[in-house]
Chain A
């Protein structure tokens, strides 16, 4: 996605949603990049939503995001846009609980939900495919700061998937943690569940 990556102070990255008059919100990242984002997408960010709920704030001035870099915001915007698109595939008045929804909906709605689920699965699989661990962590911090629950859930799930079959050393490196057990203590903890250390990926 090339949106917002240039330093042009007035980019117009809006993908035309047919017929919709897109109101945009301007965001300014820590490294000085300006993003104009459709209101619907920007309102996915809890932090932005509460900022603009305060009437005294003008919607035309760029909102500063001192804890988020341009590249991270760009990825976040991409995610939220796609997520909104996928959600719009499901007809309204649908509960988020898949099992309750299945009992209530008709056949057509069920199909739409299945298709949406599949889209989401594929999209999520692609989204982080080439991201390094450092980039994923940066995205987590951005999603946390911007208070985007869905993205944060997805990122935490993805990290769990990345590390679940890795060694203790790998986990320490990933989270930047120094082990603080003595070798004897660690040996004892390992021994108690020795079988859990088998079949682990090579570092």
Chain B
């Protein structure tokens, strides 16, 4: 391959003038290149010049970068065709380390140390969205500190206290308002799990840095969701409730309780009720999840044979259309202590099979297996890497989100905090 140009003199930094061999790249191309750079490079290149600074801190760029960089078909990561999960320890005495792993092989890719001091003793992962983790630090449901944390750019923010913080929190949800490029945290709290007990919903918005109470206008009780997450699907956060109607008029009027899904539009902060799919048979427990971007319901029910459990997975194929609930599959559960964790980005179900073996010398040993099941083919694949069932899991991606903002704290590797 012959070079057609003569050897060039050493490059001198000077303002570019029009020359034959001058190659300024147009802005659109510079942006295409920037969207393919990892976070660390982008944080560094903010000081290349003022134009690059404004490119990199632009919220539209941050969203585009998020999509492009995490799209495995067009980036330089070597991990072909998989996403990430992040493992979060539930108790700081267990560990202060979060690990990011491949969601196909569960091989550890990186580790992050939790940068904020945990006051209360337990961590709850509220959600993971666009590379930001919503994490709560709580103790016996009494009080709770909520943090938004982007481990990749080493920034976190402690949320201001919610209204009536002394009400115990039931659950926490986290979503992205794409219309306003804002992040919202939803907190459900209640006094105690007695029927007709008052429950509260509050919504926090990052752009206003404040909480707001939301009235639902119905009488309801939160329903236990065994997946412990509020799936964020189609711009809505979801959780299960029992709606309570009637019962005020004395003995003649009966109280009617209906189980349903409540969906919160994170943009308008308005609620909708969604019906659960109709199915005969006793339900032992159920949970909501997100399957390939769609709302899914995982139900444990009693099987035909005695002592057998079936797990059916339903997917709402068209969002908001109640007729579109479709039973994706039925999984026989050999062992009730099998533990369904979550769906990965590519729709594989992570199941942990906990079994106890009595070995030859009569010692009781644990044999925990983790498998990935494809609900569409029921094909099962065992994962060789250990997935600790005591850790919370969430889908995860890398992004620059939370770059700027009020009260966002930067920290260094050793935990020292940098204040602007």
Contacts and interface: CB of A to CB of B under 8 A. Distances in A.
- Do A and B actually bind? yes
Interface of A: 1, 5, 31, 69-71, 75, 97-99, 103, 117, 130, 134-135, 137-138, 140-141, 144, 152-153, 156-157, 159-161, 163-165, 167-168, 171-173, 175-181, 186, 189-197, 200
8 contacts: A70-B4, A99-B81, A140-B25, A157-B75, A164-B76, A168-B47, A172-B13, A176-B24
Given A31-B4, A156-B29, 6 more contacts: A5-B2, A98-B81, A137-B23, A144-B26, A179-B49, A193-B44
Contacts, number: 121
A167 B75 CA distance: 21
B49 A161 contact: no
Given A1-B1, A160-B37, A176-B16, A196 B44 contact: yes
A99 B38 CA distance: 23
Interface in B312-348: 346
B291 to A, nearest CB: 13
Contacts of B76: 157, 160-161, 164
B226 interface: no
Contacts of A177: 48-49, 51-52
A159 B23 contact: no
Given A160-B37, A164-B37, A197 B44 contact: yes
A176 B17 CA distance: 11
Contacts of A1: 1
A194 B43 CA distance: 9
A97 B295 CA distance: 22
A119 to B, nearest CB: 14
Contact of B410 (A144, A153, A193): A193
A137 to B, nearest CB: 4
B2 A71 contact: yes
Residues of A contacting B: mostly:
helix
Q: Number of contact residues on B: which range applies? A: 35 or more
Contacts of A161: 76
Nearest to B155: A193
B358 to A, nearest CB: 40
A138 B23 contact: yes
B304 interface: no
A92 B346 CA distance: 24
Contact of B30 (A97, A175, A200): A175
Nearest to B377: A103
A199 B14 CA distance: 28
A192 B47 CA distance: 11
A123 B354 CA distance: 45
A153 B74 CA distance: 8
Contacts of B3: 71, 135
Nearest to A166: B41
